[in-house]
Amino acid sequence: MIDRQALRHNIQAEVGRLKAGCDLFMVVKANGYGHGAAQVARVAKEAGASGFCVAILDEALELRAAGFNEPILILGVTRPQDAPLMAAQKISATVAATDWLAEAAKYLALAPTKAPLRVHLGLDTGMGRIGFRTPDALKTATDFMTTHSTEFIFEGIFTHFSTADDPDDRYFKGQVAKWHALVDTLPHRPRYVHVSNSATSLWHDACNDNLVRFGVAGYGLNPSGEAIPQTPYPLEPAMSLTSELVYTKQLHAGESVSYGATYTAQQDEWVGTVPIGYADGYERRLQGFHVLVAGQFCEIIGRVCMDQMMIRLPQAYQRGTKVTLVGRDGDQTIRLQDLADYCGTIHYELACGFTDRLPRHYIN
């Protein structure tokens, strides 16, 4: 279940903190971090977002097909031959090398519709992923776009901080210095100058410049996990995950459960089967974790299967009884962060990993 009001709260709270002239683009890549890209985009637009960020071209085209006319920035590297399509759809491309521009220019020159491609230059200041690394390389790219002004609009420039969610800000400050060493060489700044992901805007908002790429915090998840628990406003998680019991039985002492017979009952106990498994994105690693039934924690026993898993119940329950895997039931709550801690990963991975077999129901 996805709570639109939680999304609204998080996005409006962030928009309310921004200085005049600073825009917020909602990051809706990976199907809106598992929440539903188009649905999240609609809420974000209502809450004050003026554009969107995605990772790949197909995600951008999905938003255009859904009727969104706002600016869309693709954060990953695309194919030069797709430049005419992006230009025609007014989709902004991230460019990390001048040879990409040179190849894209050839395709744009041959396109039947002569539309320029909006470009955001990516700078690598320490993320080590993509981007220009030296002033000379940056100058070569900007000079190329100047001489090919019918093919390109230099719309933006940005970098990505890799440790903005770390209480130790030494590496972050080093990236800030490298950012200025590059961007300050520009004779003219483009429309959008941006460095801030969720973590940067929450804890280093002096760096925001005129655009924030608002991602995981918009979904109510702390970018740091629990490394920096304090946030400028309460983050309200938008996602919960529930299922139900489809079968119950009494297991007798000495009987085992699931693949590998890794769990054997030490005494008679009630066991319920839940129709969700790792094919739905509920990690196999969660054996031994717990869910909530009638406000009580119930252990996941035996290995999580592809489509089902078993839980130990305190008593017999009727088929159809609600099972909460993420969210609140009674006085107890299971957070995505709790699952992530148990799996030794981050909540981003789990939220993005919930597959389309799980129907998304939207409330509020």
Residues that are catalytic: 29, 259
**Dist CA 96 CA 120 (whole Å):** 9
CA angle 80, 81, 84 (to 5 degrees): 100
DSSP secondary structure letter of residue 87: H
Answer whether 63's CB lies under 8 Å from 54's CB: yes
**Dist CA 235 CA 171 (whole Å):** 26
**Dist CA 84 CA 79 (whole Å):** 10
* Sign of the dihedral through C-alpha 125, 128, 134, 139: negative
DSSP secondary structure letter of residue 197: -
**Dist CA 52 CA 24 (whole Å):** 8
Answer whether 303's CB lies under 8 Å from 262's CB: yes
**Dist CA 82 CA 110 (whole Å):** 12
Residue 129 is assigned to a ligand binding site: yes
Burial of 363 from C-beta contacts in 10 A (0-12 / 13-18 / 19+) = exposed
Phi, psi of 287 (to 5 degrees): -55, 130
* In 129-238, beta strands by DSSP E: 152-159, 192-194, 211-214
Token pair of 116, please? Answer: 């320029």
Residue from 69, 63, 3 nearest 38 by CA = 63
* In the chain, beta strands by DSSP E: 2-3, 23-27, 51-54, 72-77, 91-95, 117-123, 152-159, 192-194, 211-214, 241-244, 247-251, 256-257, 263-264, 269-274, 290-293, 296-301, 309-313, 322-329, 332-334, 362-363
Question: Which residues sit in the known binding site for substrate?
Answer: 129, 306
Question: Which residues sit in the known binding site?
Answer: 129, 306
